[in-house]
Structure 1
Amino acid sequence: MSIIFKIADTVKVFLSSGRGFGSLLEKGASVASTRILHNCRHYIPTLGAIIDAGANQGQFAMAAAHFYPRARIHSFEPLPHVFALLQRNTRRLSNISTYNMALGNCNGTLEFHSNAYSHASSALNVSALQKNMLPKTATTRQIEVPVQRLDDLLHRLTFIPPVLLKMDVQGFEKEVLKGAIKSLWQIDYLLFETSFVQMYDGEPLFDEMHHFVKELGFEFIAPVGFLQSEKLQILQMDLLYKRKTHENCS
């Protein structure tokens, strides 16, 4: 019965989002990304640009192109074989630009853990806890990938406000933000995944990330997605923040 409920929920998500059942058959289609962006649209009616850090195969970018068709989307994916899928899946969408690199707090190369389950690939080691809960994430190999600070890429990107910075970089979100300090005045919204338990060795958990982005001048809007264990424990949550206006500052 659980499989039937999952199928029904999947169909419901796509139909309620306006993407239609046929979208399920598209390469790179994602229920999670569709749900997250469907929820985001309640708080963000329009976007001019999206920075998609941790694009994977284009799941988020493709859904974003549906919900925000006027937005210019800049998708960053460091793994070469996954980047090839990103390019293939988004090649018909002219508003998506793709970059084969990671975003971080330095320029050059980065030691990266390429995971057999590509969604779990990260600059950080998968924790023993995650390997135990999600055995498919246990196999990794180390490679070097190019990395750039967002602050040093501004001349290559088109920023038309409002701008959303989305980060799904498996515990590396704080480093991405450290490399974007000069860029943040141009960014109106942050959307990122944060953990409540140690999914990656050394990753900052919810409390640390929440206080960090508040110090950067952003205020919490709402959770827009989450990941639960089989025991219904909430492991990670997708959080939406908005840059404070001068009127909101005390």
Structure 2
Amino acid sequence: MSKAEHERHPLQTDAITKKRLHNGIEIYQNNEGETEFLYNEIFHKEMYFKHGITLPDHGTVLDVGANIGMFSLYVSSKSDCRVYAFEPLPPTFKLLKMNTSSLPRVTTVNVGLSNEIKEAEFAYFPTMSTDSVQIKYRENHDQDLRYGLINHYEDNFADRRMLNRFVDHLMSPKLLNEQIYRCKLTTISEMIHFYDLNQIDLLKIDVEKSEFEVLEGIEPEDWGKIRQIVMEVHGLDGEQISRLENIFQTNGFYAVIDYYEDLNIPNYYNVYALNQMHTSAG
């Protein structure tokens, strides 16, 4: 049995646990592996702050697809920015709210972002909450789940075959424990108007295959209010890359579309976009 299995089975999510991160911050979590993965990406690698993306001392940040709040915690530890954190899934939102309750400059919103105001069904995975996805994208999502589990737990296995056997075990329907939730969705422009936001210094998007819908929810008159965008994008082929480049170019952004080599997932990219109008003014 591996160390990960012996210490605490990663699928034991019936009780919320608390973990002290390497930087001293305490966080409520679903499971150890996912928390370590998020901490490494956000705090250690600082993956959202490349290719000119910066965090201002003062400003407004939108955390779209906030999950349990790791990015919001990072921003709050580095600056005095006002953060609006959006998470549609009730179990994950509960942890997000618990993790940011002591931060007066973080507003948590139990809603997802899309291209219109509506409701949609989501597949929620307690053991892989970061890979929860809208039902309409669920059909071909198992391979992404498998990649995610491998990335989360590979450091616990010296033998690749044992890692694959372990992931096969976790992928069984009983242990995956997939749950369906109907969630509310709105648009970025609606939130800009609701919270009366004149400028968004950083828009971070991580929404598991719904990225284009989030961008479509920005009205033409609101693009100029956004200084920087950083986002993870899944399943990009050549045509979709061109589409994404066109969206940013049309709205005055210079964008770098960067293949995320560390995760070794096909067609998985990080996008870093700067509003050229704000860059010129700065």
- Quick check: TM above 0.5? yes
**Quick check: 1:66 aligned with 2:82?**
no
For residues 54-96 of structure 1, the C-alpha deviation after alignment (integer angstroms, 9 at most, x for no partner) is: 00000111011122x2211000000011101000001111111
Deviates more, 1:31-40 or 1:93-102: 31-40
**Quick check: 1:159 aligned with 2:189?**
no
Q: Is the 1:228–1:234 contact (alpha carbons within 8 Å) kept by the matching residues of 2?
A: no
User: What TM-score does the superposition give when structure 1 sets the normalisation length?
Assistant: 0.74
Report the counterpart of residue 22 of structure 1 in structure 2: 23
Tell me, in whole angstroms, the C-alpha distance in 1 between the residues paired with 2:222 and 2:261: 29
Which of 217, 221, 234 is the matching residue for 1:179? 217
For residues 116-138 of structure 1, the C-alpha deviation after alignment (integer angstroms, 9 at most, x for no partner) is: 31100122215343245445577
Deviates more, 1:165-174 or 1:181-190: 181-190
SS in 2 for 1:171: coil
**Quick check: 1:144 aligned with 2:153?**
no
**Which stretches in structure 2 are left out of the alignment for 5+ residues?**
4-20, 30-34, 149-166
SS in 2 for 1:237: strand
Relative distance call for 1:87 and 1:247 in structure 2 (3 A) is closer
**Quick check: 1:33 aligned with 2:49?**
no
**Residues 47-58 of structure 1 mapped to structure 2, 5 A cutoff:** 48-58=59-69
Tell me, in whole angstroms, the C-alpha distance in 1 between the residues paired with 2:197 and 2:244: 25
TM-fit CA distance, 1:40: 4.3
Aligned AA (2:193): H
Tell me, in whole angstroms, the C-alpha distance in 2 between the residues paired with 1:246 and 1:26: 35
**Quick check: 1:99 aligned with 2:109?**
yes
Tell me, in whole angstroms, the C-alpha distance in 1 between the residues paired with 2:254 and 2:75: 22
Relative distance call for 1:144 and 1:177 in structure 2 (3 A) is same
**Quick check: 1:237 aligned with 2:275?**
no
Aligned AA (2:88): P
Q: Is the 1:53–1:103 contact (alpha carbons within 8 Å) kept by the matching residues of 2?
A: yes
Aligned AA (1:220): A
Tell me, in whole angstroms, the C-alpha distance in 2 between the residues paired with 1:101 and 1:122: 14
Tell me, in whole angstroms, the C-alpha distance in 1 between the residues paired with 2:25 and 2:73: 12
Q: Is the 1:195–1:206 contact (alpha carbons within 8 Å) kept by the matching residues of 2?
A: no
Report the counterpart of residue 89 of structure 2 in structure 1: 79
RMSD of aligned alpha carbons: 3.2
Tell me, in whole angstroms, the C-alpha distance in 1 between the residues paired with 2:75 and 2:46: 10
**Which stretches in structure 1 are left out of the alignment for 5+ residues?**
4-19, 199-203
- Greater Rg by CA: 2
For residues 2-55 of structure 1, the C-alpha deviation after alignment (integer angstroms, 9 at most, x for no partner) is: x9xxxxxxxxxxxxxxxx943365446622112236734964251510111100
Q: Is the 2:72–2:83 contact (alpha carbons within 8 Å) kept by the matching residues of 1?
A: yes
TM-fit CA distance, 1:185: 1.6
Aligned AA (2:62): I
Which of 239, 243, 252 is the matching residue for 1:217? 252
For residues 89-126 of structure 1, the C-alpha deviation after alignment (integer angstroms, 9 at most, x for no partner) is: 01111111000000111113112222231100122215
Q: Is the 1:109–1:147 contact (alpha carbons within 8 Å) kept by the matching residues of 2?
A: yes
User: What TM-score does the superposition give when structure 2 sets the normalisation length?
Assistant: 0.67
Q: Is the 1:72–1:95 contact (alpha carbons within 8 Å) kept by the matching residues of 2?
A: yes
Aligned residues: 221
Moved over 6 A (4+): none
Aligned AA (1:215): T
Q: Is the 2:123–2:132 contact (alpha carbons within 8 Å) kept by the matching residues of 1?
A: yes
SS in 1 for 2:91: helix
Aligned AA (2:103): L
